[in-house]
Structure 1
């Protein structure tokens, strides 16, 4: 499966910049749905961050997905890769 990678940067309430990627099936192009996936991910965080908008989450590239990523996308529609300051 090919996935689209959406690069996301948000400022946390403590000033740190949070960086994570939202991976979705590359056939999904509905930006509102992709942003909703990111908002859903953020609901489970123990800290607050600035609002997720299309200026903070942009399409980056397409890549081949691993089996783990494919399984998560088939189950919940997306996969998150936490890069920096996500915990």
Structure 2
């Protein structure tokens, strides 16, 4: 499975930056769907009030998904790679 990687930087409640990648099936082109995945993740981190738009989240590249990523996408539609401040 090929996935699109969306590079995301969000300002947290405390003013620090949270950097994570949203991985979703390459076929998903609707930006609102991608942002919704990110908002679900932010809610799980108690950061649901953080802004997530094209300013914070941009397409980065396409890559081949690992088994772990495929499993997550099959279960919830997306996968998150936590980078910094998560």
Is TM more than 0.5 here? yes
Aligned pair 1:22/2:22, yes or no?
A: yes
Q: Are residues 64 and 55 of structure 1, via their aligned partners in 2, closer, same or farther at CA, if it must alter by over 3 Å?
A: same
Q: CA deviation at 1:49?
A: 5.6
Aligned residues, how many?
86
Q: CA deviation at 1:75?
A: 1.0
Q: Normalization by structure 1: what TM-score?
A: 0.92
Cα deviation digits, residues 20-76 of structure 1 (max 9, x gap): 000001011111001001001111113566311121100000001100000110111
Q: Normalization by structure 2: what TM-score?
A: 0.93
Q: Which runs of 4+ in 1 moved over 2 A?
A: 46-50
Aligned pair 1:57/2:57, yes or no?
A: yes
**Farther off after superposition, 45-54 or 31-40:** 45-54
Unmatched runs of 5 consecutive residues or more in structure 1: none
The CA RMSD measured in Å over matched residues stands at: 1.2
Alpha carbons 2:5, 2:24 under 8 Å: kept: yes
